[in-house]
Structure 1
Amino acid sequence: MSDEFGQEQAIRKLGPGKLVIASHNAGKVREIGELLAPHGIETVSASALDLPEPEETGTTFIANAELKAIQAADLSGLPALADDSGLCVDALNGDPGIFSARWAGPDKDFRLAMQKVWDAVEARGPDAGRDAHFVCALALAWPDGHVEAFEGRVDGTLIWPPRGHKGFGYDPMFQPLGHAISFGEMEPDRKHAMSHRADAFAKMVAAVF
């Protein structure tokens, strides 16, 4: 992180204690809680604190993660961690990208979202590739407005029909490179070891703990 003069500033450390997970997505809150458990962090979700969901007006994953984390930290008076993540499909020029949740509609129907993604790829013709990647941006904010951000990625291919019920979101249609099963078929511990969220977490843990 740099200051206004372009000089590198030390990354702020996070000590044991309570941390707000700035998300109303139960699957995401659970996964983040599992990743934080070994570090002495007690998590509480934004929904449990009845915090509002901000409008995601950023144009990047990190911008959206930062605005969610900063609002949650300001309203709760506690450090807050926000995640903004999504599926980026090469054949769709990176869509759904930062709009991944919106493709699921107001009811957060990811079966519908996966169908929309697959239909869009199929509409590109038989030569359209199936390459895709997940991106996860993590933003850690403190009540005084300080924020640190980290980004992770995992590459893979789209599969159809979707397989597995162990993940959430687009997991059942995403098969990571080097593996023969989808994220939806993977046991949580295995996914946590190599996912986009795990990649971002590894960078955050190395920096702030």
Structure 2
Amino acid sequence: MGQWALLWVLVLATACYLALWPGQVVPTVANGNGTRPTLVLDAGHGGEDGGAVSLTGVPESTINLAIVERMDLLLGLCGRTPVVLRQSDVSLHDPDADTLREKKASDLKNRVMAVEDTEHGVLLSIHQNMFTNAKYHGAQVFFASTDGSQEWAVHTQEALRQAVDPDNERQAKPIPDTVYLMNHISCPAILVECGFLSNPEEEEKLRSESYQLQLAAALAGAWLQYEKNL
């Protein structure tokens, strides 16, 4: 078996393990009629808005999209069809937006609209962290104020710890009120900062396809576990 074939087997095994993981009971979230939710995958930033830039010059938007693409593929192999807000390096702004500021504002409003227009939508937004001190590392999950978001975030944070980084002691936290997307939707929503682009060791991992796959498997598995309790 080739290296990549073996890696895919290990990644799928991780996702399946987390989906069946009995270590935590995930509280249910009522959606009014028992209909299974639709996962919306948001790769943060895109186009002219690359987000944070890694130590080696890679824009956050590229890494965000790579992880979302792998999540989409893994979930597809598990029989799920998530809604993916962007599938290439583009901004989702209206054509009449001219300046970068206008494009960012339009992009965020259109993402909100897309999430809100998704019937029984549930949002997972992928981002990368950055800080002035290079010592900080580790994925962290933030949750919206909507019903069910905190439980999903806590579960996802633990899944990331178990599957990707056992030494990560970070805890899920409420999203700051400055994050437009997460504060203008009405559905359950989490935002995952997958790691710090300002930490040399973690930045190298975040740029690697194998680590992106590991993150995607952990996030997909956590969602499948959470979903089956809805």
Structure (1/2) with the larger helix percentage: 2
Structure (1/2) with the larger strand percentage: 1
Q: TM over 0.5, yes or no?
A: no
TM tier relative to shorter chain: 0.3 to 0.5
Question: Which structure has the higher relative contact order (CA within 8 Å, separation 6+)?
Answer: 2
Q: TM-score, normalised by structure 2?
A: 0.37
